[in-house]
């Protein structure tokens, strides 16, 4: 049974960047997190309706950052080299940043956000504008057969009925096929106190321990685990039907590491909750003292993660003047819940900015490199993980 360990308060739809004219029409819910001691799964206590989050105005575009473009390019080269897949399925194809590296003839995709499924359909990749479940799996199987490679990035953790989603994968995975998926890692979140990984879309934050249980129930087996630096620390999980591939040492290593960390016991999560509370106090104190000294703070990257932070810590235009973000769909809008205006970096990241809170701290290397002029003139980045970054 799932038991609550953390309450992040009243929160809006994390990616629901909205026009100012809709400011009084937002949906809010209680963001609480629990741990299931039977299968070790960490999940939201209450799931938000999928249609509220993943619809035709979904704003997150994976191809907006060069880090993610090269990440998916490398991933596809790696999979082609190691598994030579003939038929490929991507679940949650976003704007096509991964599938663009595969042939149009043998690749299909599933993407519930209409704006994105349109983009990849127009590019020539058959894209089903549906949520991933057994119906989708059966339909695709009957139209184009089983798949040798099923890939999914930052999507499986979005699916409330995760047991059903893995069952639907097993249903369409060819006998020797591989199911590879990547999602933020629970151990990284616990270690860094990056509680901003928790928001409506992340129905679950996976440990390898929990995935081993859940995939096992679907008749699948993890044969390899890679650690990735993207999205603030992720795991790439390689799974197949049982006993198809030799199980790599990385699987036992990950399971042992997570047990040593205590990811299988409630006490670890209670400690995490106390660390989250301290993190909030520290961040608000830093921002308040900068603001009190008359300096200007903006936020860099209008992320879902920063929605959690701003709403949990009650950070609004009282502390952050505005947010800069390169995504055209977010510019001119306001942030969910706290209603901080969003502008393009060209417009807002100018000489008047003294401090920049890294809403997109997971891209700090890329951003700091790009904004070298800001650093050279004494500008400073701040993150809720590290405080002021030198």
- Sites of contact with ligand TYD (CB under 6 A): 15, 60, 64-65, 301-305, 325-327, 330, 360, 362-363, 366-367, 370
Q: Are 6 and 272 in contact (CB under 8 A)?
A: yes
| Residue whose CB is less far from ligand TYD, 218 or 334 | 334
Provide, rounded to whole angstroms, the least separation between the CB of residue 235 and ligand TYD: 16
Q: What is the DSSP secondary-structure string of 172-201?
A: HEEEEEEEEEEEEBHHHHHHHT-GGG-STT
d(CA 144, CA 166) in angstroms, rounded, equals 19
Nearest-approach distance from CB 267 to ligand TYD, in angstroms: 28
Closest CB 289 distance from ligand TYD, rounded Å: 26
Find the shortest distance in angstroms from Cβ 33 to ligand TYD. 17
Residue 305 to residues 16, 97, 143, Cα–Cα distance (Å): 12, 21, 38
Give the sheet arrangement for strand 220-228, strand by strand.
126-128, 107-110, 88-91, 147-153, 173-184, 234-241, 220-228
**Closest distance to ligand TYD from the beta carbon of 102 (Å):** 22
Tokens at 379, concatenated: 């500008």
Q: Which of 124, 166, 176 is CA-nearest to residue 146?
A: 176
* 178 vs 360 by CB, closer to ligand TYD: 360
Which residue, 94 or 212, has its beta carbon nearer to ligand TYD? 94
Helix (H) or strand (E) holding 372: helix 372-376
Write the burial class of residue 121 (CB in 10 Å: 0-12 exposed, 13-18 middle, 19+ buried).
Answer: middle
Residue 19 CA to residue 12 CA, distance in Å, equals 14
Q: How far is the CB of 146 from ligand TYD (least distance, A)?
A: 31
**Closest approach of Cβ 324 to ligand TYD, in Å?**
6
Q: Tokens 């097993």 appear where?
A: 170
Question: C-alpha distances in angstroms, 153 versus 68, 71, 261, 275?
Answer: 11, 11, 25, 28
């Amino acid at each position: 049974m799932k038991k609550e360990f953390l309450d992040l308060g009243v929160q809006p739809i994390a990616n629901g960047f909205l026009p100012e004219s809709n400011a009084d029409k937002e949906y809010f819910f209680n963001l609480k997190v629990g741990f299931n001691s039977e299968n070790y799964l960490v999940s939201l206590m209450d799931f938000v309706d999928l249609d509220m989050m993943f619809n035709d105005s979904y704003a997150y575009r994976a191809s907006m950052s060069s880090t993610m473009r090269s990440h998916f390019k490398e991933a596809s080269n790696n999979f082609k080299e190691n598994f030579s897949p003939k038929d490929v399925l991507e679940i949650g194809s976003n704007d096509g940043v991964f599938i663009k590296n595969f042939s149009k003839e043998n690749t299909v995709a599933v993407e519930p956000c209409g704006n994105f499924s349109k983009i990849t359909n127009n590019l020539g990749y058959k894209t089903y504008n549906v949520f991933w479940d057994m119906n989708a799996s059966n339909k695709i199987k009957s139209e184009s057969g089983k798949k040798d490679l099923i890939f999914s990035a930052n999507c499986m953790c979005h699916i409330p009925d995760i047991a059903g989603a893995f069952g639907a994968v097993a249903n369409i995975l060819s006998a020797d096929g591989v199911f590879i998926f990547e999602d933020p890692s629970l151990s990284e979140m616990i270690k860094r106190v990056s509680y901003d990984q928790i928001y409506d879309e992340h129905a679950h934050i996976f440990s390898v321990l929990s995935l081993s249980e859940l995939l096992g129930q679907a008749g699948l087996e993890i044969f390899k685990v890679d650690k990735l630096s993207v999205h603030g620390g992720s795991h790439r999980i390689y799974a197949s039907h049982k006993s198809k591939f030799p199980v790599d040492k990385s699987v036992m290593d990950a399971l042992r590491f997570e047990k040593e960390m205590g990811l299988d016991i409630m006490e670890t999560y209670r400690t995490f909750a106390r660390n989250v509370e301290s993190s909030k106090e520290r961040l608000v104190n830093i921002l308040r003292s900068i603001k009190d000294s008359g300096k200007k703070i903006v936020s860099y990257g209008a992320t879902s993660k920063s929605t959690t932070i701003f709403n949990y810590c009650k950070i609004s235009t009282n502390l952050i003047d505005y947010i800069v973000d390169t995504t055209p769909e977010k510019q001119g809008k306001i942030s969910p819940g706290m209603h901080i205006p969003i502008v393009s970096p060209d417009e807002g990241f100018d000489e008047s900015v003294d401090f920049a809170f890294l809403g997109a701290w997971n891209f700090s290397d890329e951003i700091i490199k790009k904004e070298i002029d800001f650093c050279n003139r004494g500008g400073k980045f701040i993150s809720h993980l590290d405080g002021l970054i030198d």
